[in-house]
């Protein structure tokens, strides 16, 4: 069975609650949608920010490359029924590693001051009919991984 979850997501909030820390997980889970599960709660420094203090982020983009797609995972993966050249895509993804100006890979209206980002690791794996694109970096622009994935699909669709 394949897992399509986000691991290690970190969020933070300030509260004046008197609720003991060990009760936060149960209290939050009782009030959240079933698609969100809190696994751990801990107290952090007042100046901690889950977005700006992280050292790296990993995004996973999944492409279903079967002829029919999946009803169950329809909203969790992108369906491309045309046969993709995986080897070409694996070759192309390596060009994204390193520090580059990714301004050509951001959505219009992105408010980031700089479009320079560092990708530490760029991988493309195949699991049956699924193609998994994983990028680990110091940060990502709005829709950057989606646009990179679309670019890799274009590479995979090209004829020699």
pLDDT in tens, 22-61: 898 999 999 999 888 888 999 889 898 887 888 889 999 9
Asked if 155 and 63 touch (Cβ cutoff 8 Å), the reply is: no
Reply yes or no on domain 57-157 having CATH 3.40.50.800: no
State how far the Cα of 50 lies from the Cα of 9, in Å rounded to an integer: 9
What's the predicted TM-score (pTM) here? 0.79
* Amino acid 55: pLDDT: 85
How many whole angstroms separate alpha carbon 53 and alpha carbon 69?
38
Give the phi and the psi of residue 157 in degrees, each rounded to 5: -90, -15
User: Which regions in the chain score pLDDT beneath 70?
Assistant: 1-7, 160
What span, in angstroms and rounded, lies between the C-alpha atoms of 113 and 108?
13
Map out the domains of the chain as residue ranges.
8-54, 57-157
Give pLDDT, residue 7.
65
CA 85 to CA 157: how far, in whole Å?
7
Q: What is the pLDDT of residue 59?
A: 92
């Amino acid at each position: 069975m394949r897992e399509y979850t986000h691991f290690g997501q970190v969020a933070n909030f300030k509260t004046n609650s008197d609720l003991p820390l060990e009760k936060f997980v149960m209290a939050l889970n009782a009030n959240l949608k079933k698609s969100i599960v809190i696994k751990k709660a801990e107290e952090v420094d007042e100046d901690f920010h889950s977005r700006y203090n992280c050292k790296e982020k990993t995004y996973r983009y999944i492409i279903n490359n079967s002829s029919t797609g999946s009803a169950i995972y329809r909203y969790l993966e992108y369906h491309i029924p045309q046969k993709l050249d995986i080897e070409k895509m694996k070759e192309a993804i390596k060009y994204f590693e390193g520090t580059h100006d990714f301004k050509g890979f951001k959505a219009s209206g992105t408010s980031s001051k700089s479009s320079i980002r560092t990708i530490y690791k760029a991988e493309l794996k195949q699991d049956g009919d699924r193609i998994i694109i994983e990028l680990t970096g110091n940060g990502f622009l709005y829709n950057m991984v989606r646009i990179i994935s679309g670019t890799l699909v274009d590479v995979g669709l090209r004829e020699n």
